[in-house]
């Protein structure tokens, strides 16, 4: 009984609040996790872990943007921790298309190339181009200097230009 009481007092959000947050952000969290995990089952586990962390967390969010940033950071950390484990099998980047869930989001040629970027560039490019954050916001979310984020974006753009093609004079 003591364990049940401790759990009840640690939950500061109601089930309704958690459900609303989940509905608002589940697709975004799924896409972020999929960028790291590259398979539906691993992605679903990471999404579940992210929202379990939300349930366990007692600190209220200051705003919608704070809520979204917290979920992005938590999902990124959950995935990084999962990928670092010694037991994690490595999958080929080409395999992710076979594991995707077509009803969650569409994978086009550009997204495929983004998924092939090195991990540090992939997250920044996703947040910048797919979620609409600027470099200052991404720096805050990922807890990195803004100059590092701008450098990652610059390097990622070079790689993307090489792989996709495009006007060399365009910036």
Q: Which tops the pLDDT comparison, 59 or 89?
A: 59
Task: Report the C-alpha gap between 70 and 107 in whole angstroms.
Answer: 25
- The whole model's pTM is what? 0.58
What pLDDT is attached to residue 162? 87
Question: Are 13 and 49 in a shared domain?
Answer: yes
Question: Are 65 and 138 in a shared domain?
Answer: no
The number of C-alpha atoms within 13 Å of 129 and in the hemisphere containing its C-beta is 15
Domain extent at residue 163: 108-171
pLDDT over 50 (residue 20): yes
Question: Are 92 and 163 in a shared domain?
Answer: no
Weakest-pLDDT range from 75-84, 87-96, 119-128: 87-96
Residue position matching structure tokens 């705003």: 63
Report the sign of the C-alpha dihedral through residues 145, 147, 149, 151, in that order.
Answer: negative
Question: Are 112 and 97 in a shared domain?
Answer: no
């Amino acid at each position: 009984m003591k364990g049940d009481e401790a759990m009840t007092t640690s939950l500061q959000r109601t089930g309704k609040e958690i459900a609303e947050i989940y509905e608002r952000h589940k697709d975004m969290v799924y896409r972020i996790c999929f960028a790291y995990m590259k398979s539906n089952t691993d992605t679903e586990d990471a999404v579940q872990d992210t929202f379990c962390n939300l349930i366990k967390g007692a600190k209220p969010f200051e705003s919608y943007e704070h809520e979204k940033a917290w979920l992005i950071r938590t999902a990124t950390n959950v995935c990084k921790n999962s990928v670092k484990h010694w037991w994690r099998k490595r999958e080929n980047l080409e395999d992710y298309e076979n594991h995707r869930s077509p009803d969650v989001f569409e994978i086009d040629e550009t997204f495929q190339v983004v998924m092939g970027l090195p991990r540090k560039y992939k997250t920044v490019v996703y947040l910048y181009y797919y979620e609409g954050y600027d470099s200052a916001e991404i720096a805050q979310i990922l807890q990195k200097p803004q100059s590092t984020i701008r450098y990652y974006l610059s390097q990622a753009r070079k790689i993307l230009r090489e792989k996709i093609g495009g006007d060399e004079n365009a910036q």
